[in-house]
Amino acid sequence: MDNAFEVVELLDAAAEYFRAEGLADLVACSQSTGSNGHSVAIEPDIDDLVRLHQLIRDRRAFTVLEFGTGYSTLVIADALAKNADDFASSDAEVELLPADAFRVFSVDASEAWLATAMARIPCGLQTHVVATHSPVQIGTFKGQLCHFYERLPNVVPDFIYLDGPDPSDVVGAVNGLDFSHRERTVISGDLLLMEPTFVPGLIVLVDGRTNNARFLANNFRRTYDWLEDPGGDFTMFELAEPPLGPRNRARLAYCAGED
């Protein structure tokens, strides 16, 4: 019984955060452009959007790389705009800012869904969003079946949100296997390609896609703290290594605190 009450309270807290941060209005204003006629439109998931917004705000993230565009792009842009305002009113040095600060780089295999997501972004948030269209090709990583976007935004993010691609967007087959089989889970290998250039403190949030998250956990070479949350249906990684040098240390102190 106690647990049931806790869950209700949590859901209420998410709904309250969604309203208080102005996200309910942002999403409501954009919902009329929600469907693009190419596939069945999924409704916004309030709990997922709140978790994403809260993490980016709490972590004071600078640069977000998003795989799989949607309402999340709008919510990330809002969080980054608020992070930018907080930075401007803090006493942090401007030199601390990384290239590409306060922007979300959203990569998607579907031109139609990318256009739908971009049409949702209000004028005041457009400078915070960069869209990249890229096909996704089936491939292998060390002989293991996975897939890769052909073109990635050339950025070094401090926050990655993995919520794409749609399995039907993965092109090709390896030895007769493809991702159109409805029992086959998506397995993005892109983060393994990028891993050597990750910076300590990086956060990776995987939305659902538990098999993909386990694949990453089994193939990452560096040291992470990570958590699989079956209730919330997400997995989170943090690159838990000492800072690389003074600049990385200073950014981490600003974003995550001295510890």
Residues that bind ligand SAM (CB under 6 A): 34, 39, 41-42, 48, 68-72, 108, 110, 113, 163-166
In the bound state with ligand SAM, the residue whose beta carbon lies nearer, of 76 and 255, is 76
Min. distance of Cβ 140 from ligand SAM in angstroms?
22
Tell me the CA distances in angstroms from 85 to 111, 214, 250, one per residue in order.
31, 36, 19
Min. distance of Cβ 107 from ligand SAM in angstroms?
9
Which structure tokens are listed for 107?
């990569």
In the bound state with ligand SAM, the residue whose beta carbon lies nearer, of 209 and 251, is 209
Min. distance of Cβ 240 from ligand SAM in angstroms?
26
Residue nearest to ligand SAM (CB): 70
Query: Please, what is the end-to-end C-alpha distance for the chain in angstroms?
Result: 37
Min. distance of Cβ 95 from ligand SAM in angstroms?
33
In the bound state with ligand SAM, the residue whose beta carbon lies nearer, of 23 and 252, is 23
Min. distance of Cβ 8 from ligand SAM in angstroms?
23
Enumerate residues 6+ apart whose C-beta is below 8 A from 18. Answer: 24, 46, 49, 50
In the bound state with ligand SAM, the residue whose beta carbon lies nearer, of 62 and 67, is 67
Of 160, 161, 163, 158, the closest CA to residue 101 belongs to 158
Min. distance of Cβ 110 from ligand SAM in angstroms?
4
Find residue 224's DSSP bridge partners.
239
In the bound state with ligand SAM, the residue whose beta carbon lies nearer, of 165 and 200, is 165
Q: How many CB atoms lie within 10 A of CB 31?
A: 13
CA distance linking residue 226 with residue 211, whole number of Å: 14
In the bound state with ligand SAM, the residue whose beta carbon lies nearer, of 164 and 201, is 164
CA distance linking residue 94 with residue 90, whole number of Å: 10
Cβ-count burial of 25 within 10 angstroms (0-12 exposed, 13-18 middle, 19+ buried)? exposed
> 241-248 — which CB contacts under 8 Å span 24+ positions?
241/200, 242/200, 243/200, 243/201, 244/199, 244/200, 247/96, 248/199, 248/200, 248/201
Are 221 and 193 in contact, with CB atoms under 8 Å apart? no
In the bound state with ligand SAM, the residue whose beta carbon lies nearer, of 113 and 215, is 113
Min. distance of Cβ 168 from ligand SAM in angstroms?
9
